[in-house]
Chain A
Amino acid sequence: MPLLEIKGLHKYFGGLRAVCDVSLCIEEGEVLALIGPNGAGKTTIFNVVTGFLPADAGEVIFGREDVLGLRPHEICAKGIARTFQIVRPFLAMSVLDNVTVAALLRNKSINQAQKKAEEVLEFLGLSEKAHLPASALTLPDRKRLELARALATDPRILLLDEVMAGLTPLEIDHFVELLRIVNQRGITIFLIEHVMRGVMALSQRVAVLNYGRKIAEGSPEEVTTNREVIEAYLGEEFLSA
Chain B
Amino acid sequence: MRRCLFFSAIFLILLTLPFLVSHYVVGIFILIFYYAYLGQCWNVLTGYTGYISLGHGIFLGIGAYTTAYLFLSFGITPWLGMLIGGLIAAAVGLFMGFLGFRFGLRGIYFVLLTIAFAELGRIITLHIKALGSFTGLFIPFKPSFLNFQFRGNIPYYYIAFALMIFSLALVRIIERSRLGRYFIAIREDEDAAEALGVHSFRYKMISLAISGFLTALGGAFYTNYIYYIHPNTVFGIIPSIEIILRPIVGGMGTLFGPVVGSFVLTPLAEFSRTYFAKGGYEGLHLIIYGFLMILVVLFLPQGIISYIEKPLKSLLNGDHRVRRSEAEDASFGDKRPS
In the bound complex, residues from chain A placing their C-beta under 8 Å from that of B195 are 50, 52, 72-73, 76, 81-82, 84
Tell me the smallest distance from the CB of B50 to a CB of chain A, in Å.
10
Q: Tell whether, in the assembled complex, residue A94 and residue B327 are in contact, meaning their CB atoms are under 8 Å apart.
A: yes
Within 8 A of B (CB), among A81-140: 81-82, 84, 88-94, 97, 100-102, 104-105, 108, 110, 113, 131-133, 135
Does B188 belong to the interface (CB within 8 Å)?
yes
Inter-chain contacts of B185 with A (CB < 8 A): 90, 93, 101
Q: Are A73 and B198 in contact (CB under 8 A)?
A: yes
In the complex formed, the residue of A with least CB distance to B185 is A101
User: Does A150 touch B at the CB level, under 8 Å?
Assistant: yes
The answer to whether the Cβ of B177 comes within 8 Å of any Cβ in the partner chain is yes
A110 to B323, CA, bound (A): 22
Task: State whether B197 touches A92 (Cβ < 8 A).
Answer: no
Interchain CA distance A81-B184 in the complex, whole Å: 20
Cβ of A90 and Cβ of B191 under 8 Å apart? no
Task: Tell me if B309 is interfacial: C-beta within 8 Å of chain A.
Answer: no
Determine whether A149 belongs to the interface, using a CB cutoff of 8 Å to chain B: yes
B127 surroundings in chain A (CB, below 8 A): none
Interchain CB contact under 8 A, A131 and B327: yes
Interface residue stretch chosen among B35-43, B156-164, B330-338? B330-338
Majority-rule SS of B interface residues: helix
Q: Complex formed: what's the CA distance from A108 to B188 in Å?
A: 22
A149 to B333 alpha-carbon distance, docked (Å): 18
**Per-position contact with A for B237-255: 1 when CB-CB < 8 Å, else 0?**
0000000000000000100
* In the complex, chain B residues whose CB is within 8 Å of the CB of A51: 194
CB pair B336 A91 closer than 8 Å? yes
Q: State A52–B178 Cα separation when bound (angstroms).
A: 24
Question: Chain B's nearest CB lies how many Å from the CB of A109?
Answer: 8
Complex CA–CA separation, A2 to B240 (angstroms): 55
Interface membership of B146, Cβ < 8 A: no
Q: Are A72 and B191 in contact (CB under 8 A)?
A: yes
List which B187-225 residues lie within 8 A (CB) of chain A: 187-189, 191-201
Asked if A110 and B336 make an inter-chain contact with CB atoms under 8 angstroms apart, the answer reads no
Cα(A189)–Cα(B196), bound, Å: 17
0/1 interface trace, chain B 307-338, chain A, CB 8 Å (1 if under): 00000000000000001001101110111101
Across the interface, A150 reaches (CB within 8 A) one of B196, B330, B334, B335, namely B196
Query: What is the bound-complex CA distance between A109 and B186, given in angstroms?
Result: 19
Is A77 on the interface with B (CB-CB < 8 A)?
yes
Beyond A73-B197, A93-B330, A102-B197, whether A110 also contacts B178 by CB under 8 A is yes
Closest 10 CB pairs of A and B: A94-B330, A105-B197, A76-B197, A90-B188, A72-B194, A131-B327, A88-B192, A133-B330, A102-B196, A101-B185
